[in-house]
Amino acid sequence: MGADKKGEQMEIVTVPSYEDMSLRAAEVVCEAMRQNPDLVLILPTGATPVGMYRELVAAHERGQADFSRVRTFNLDEYRGLAPDHPASYAAYMREHLFAKVNLAGQNTHIPHGVGPDPEVECRRYEAAIVEAGHGDLAILGIGQNGHVGFNEPSYSLRSTVHVARLRDETRQVAFDIWSESGDNPFPALADFPNHALTMGMGTILKAERILLLASGASKARALRLAVTGALTPQLPASFLQLHRDVTLLVDSEAARFL
């Protein structure tokens, strides 16, 4: 994917369904690990990549995915949630990937959501990514409002790892997903975190390759603006237009306006 379009424009791969998107995404990751066993992966959370993680676990069980030397850096974590909180991204990653493949514990990285000084943690996390040589492959999702990681629509963007204030619509979407699960650990929306530690757009754009996943009609508008709209901090995903090797892997519902 992407080889013939490098440096031109985003490559768009449209597949019929969420399952196809998940399978193709896992194939991209497996192939990248075969080419480079020391791969540095930047990883997303949310509903979208759950299927990709499931396929990666299945590939690992078939002996087709070796994570033993791979290093991972997650995009973000909620401020105030400890790794054992069920809504933390640390818990998400353990559930969907880390506990199920042969990733070494010291090779997985997620910003610490709790701690006395989040600014110190941001600098530590940015330095760790720089030390790893930046990501070889960044897998991204996209928020309905065009956010990437937790780089929310704003009047300006931050380049490096930082503490971000979450937009109300982003908190509401995540809160609703927890409510629908029937197991919402937050009594009310007011209890949902309102800040997160996130890679900046600069951190993300330094990855060698980017694969953005999107599924469902709720992402169609943001995707169209990201691909064809003006570069604007009001739609952080639009800055992916600056990268020379971006592939959008989307299902047909998400691609309806492309």
State the catalytic residues.
76, 145, 147, 152
Strand partners, 139: 211
The verdict on 46 binding ligand GLP (CB under 6 A) reads: yes
Is 153 a binding residue for ligand GLP by CB under 6 A? The answer is no
Among 21, 25, 39, 45, binds ligand GLP (CB under 6 A): 45
| 80 in contact with ligand GLP (CB under 6 A) | no
Beta strands in 83-240, from DSSP E residues, in sequence order: 108-109, 137-140, 162-165, 195-198, 209-214
DSSP string over 47-101: STTHHHHHHHHHHHHTT----TT-EEEESEEETT--TTSTTSHHHHHIIIIITTS
Query: If binding is defined by CB under 6 A, does position 200 make contact with ligand GLP?
Result: no
d(CA 23, CA 10): 20
**Part of the chain binding ligand GLP (CB under 6 A), chosen from 11-19, 40-48, 120-128, 238-246:** 40-48
Cβ proximity to ligand GLP, 135 vs 141, nearer residue: 141
Give the shortest CB-224-to-ligand GLP separation in angstroms.
16
Residue 65 vs 236, nearer CB to ligand GLP: 236
Tell me the C-alpha distance between 9 and 144, whole Å.
22
- Residue 113 found at the interface with ligand GLP (CB under 6 A): no
Q: Of the candidates 15, 56, 142, 164, which one interacts with ligand GLP according to CB under 6 A? A: 142
**Cβ-based neighbours of 40, under 8 Å, separated by 6 or more:** 70, 71, 72, 73, 132, 133, 134, 135, 136, 137
What is the rounded CA–CA span in Å between residue 196 and residue 113? 7
Q: Is 149 in the site for ligand GLP (CB under 6 A)?
A: yes
The answer to whether residue 75 forms part of the interface with ligand GLP (CB under 6 A) is yes
Which residues contact ligand GLP (rule: CB under 6 A)? 44-48, 75-76, 141-143, 149-150, 170
